[in-house]
A and B are shown apart, each in its own frame.
Chain A
Amino acid sequence: MKHLADELTAFLDGALAPGERARVEAHLGACAACRAERERLEKAVALLGRLPEAPAPSPTFEARFQARLAAQRALPRRPRLLDLLAWRHLAPGLAGAALAASVLVYAGARHRADERSMAEHLDLLESYEAVASVGVVERADDVQVVAHLDELGEGRP
């Protein structure tokens, strides 16, 4: 037979539904160990009920509270953590971070676009050794210029 546990204290506190209470009573009728435990806990609960009451607040309790409240209200309001996390506080920082991230993404994307463009015009670049040798072909725009130079080289106006 499983002994009573949580339900025993709840039983003493009158916190059980009628059906559960009846089951606990039936168990107590048949189990000496649980009856002994109930008696022990009951005594402890009764003794706890005889703890001295908390002393009444001192006569200045409310006046001191009002003074503390006035002091609290006089303080400049410090932003709480949640406020700090609020959009209006984070917005400038986030805007800066977003701008920096955009620059990086744009720079990365542009870098990748330049690489693609240069790869696409690799044959052309290889045919212009002079242009390549001076190191001016760094960007996709340069490749386009080189392409036009090629056209100019063919004697177009």
Chain B
Amino acid sequence: MASDPDAALMLAFQGGDASAFRVLFERYGRPMVAFCHHFVRDGARAEELAQEVFLKLYASSARYQPTARFKTFLYRIASNHCLNELRRGEYASRRAADPDADADGAPLDPDALAGGGASPEESALGAALSREVQALLARLPEKQRAAFVLARLEGLPYEEVAEVLQTSVSAVKSLVHRATVSAAAALAPYLAGREVTP
């Protein structure tokens, strides 16, 4: 795919240019950590997962065909890897035993999230929302979970989500809708009385 500079880098790496792989890592390393973080909500584990995505990319580079965008190829590896991670359940069980879990359960004021400064209350709200989303993701069926993360949290267009998940756009619409309805239910305590902000 000549119009995709990342695909060109991947092809260069296939041809033996190790620096091309380094450029891809520098370009996508941080986005991959963020992506994996949506699944595990743990910074250290997200970094490990992102590294493993690149190790897989490295190992599978010979099989890369530039028929799809490189980003799609990378997110497909990452989605499968993160879903496998959650499937193993080791992370979920570790989190369940985490004594840091928010004990009071009272929804905090979402307006406290505004702004860049992180007051203790803002941090607590962010952590509470993160836990709600983490719990939601754990409950969602796998494909809904992946579609939700890709479309809702990563902001990929439905067409790209369909490519990553190797399904149709209409299937993605359905997956994202059902996951969003579940999210609205999970976040209901935080939604009451809120105005929609543009």
Contacts and interface: CB of A to CB of B under 8 A. Distances in A.
Interface of A: 5-10, 13, 15, 39-48, 50-58, 61-62, 64-65, 68-69, 72
B129 A51 contact: yes
Interface stretch (B9-17, B53-61, B65-73, B74-82): B53-61
A43 B158 contact: no
Nearest to B157: A15
A42 B114 CA distance: 17
B152 A65 contact: no
B184 A52 contact: no
Given A50-B129, A51-B133, A52-B126, A43 B191 contact: yes
A57 B33 contact: yes
Contact of A72 (B46, B58, B130, B176): B58
Contacts, number: 110
Interface string B13-51: 000000000000110011001100110000100110011
A57 B191 contact: no
Interface of B: 25-26, 29-30, 33-34, 37-38, 43, 46-47, 50-51, 54-55, 58-59, 110, 113-114, 126-127, 129-130, 133, 151-153, 157-158, 170, 173-174, 176-177, 180-181, 183-184, 187, 190-191, 194, 196-197
Interface of B is mostly: helix
A57 B194 contact: no
The SS class assigned to the A binding surface is helix
Given A61-B50, A69-B54, 9 more contacts: A5-B174, A15-B157, A40-B191, A51-B130, A51-B153, A54-B38, A55-B37, A65-B25, A65-B29
Given A51-B126, A56-B30, A65-B51, A45 B191 contact: no
A44 B191 contact: yes
B184 A64 contact: no
B181 A41 contact: yes
16 contacts: A5-B177, A6-B173, A10-B158, A41-B181, A44-B180, A44-B187, A47-B190, A48-B152, A50-B113, A51-B153, A52-B130, A56-B33, A61-B33, A65-B25, A72-B58, A72-B59
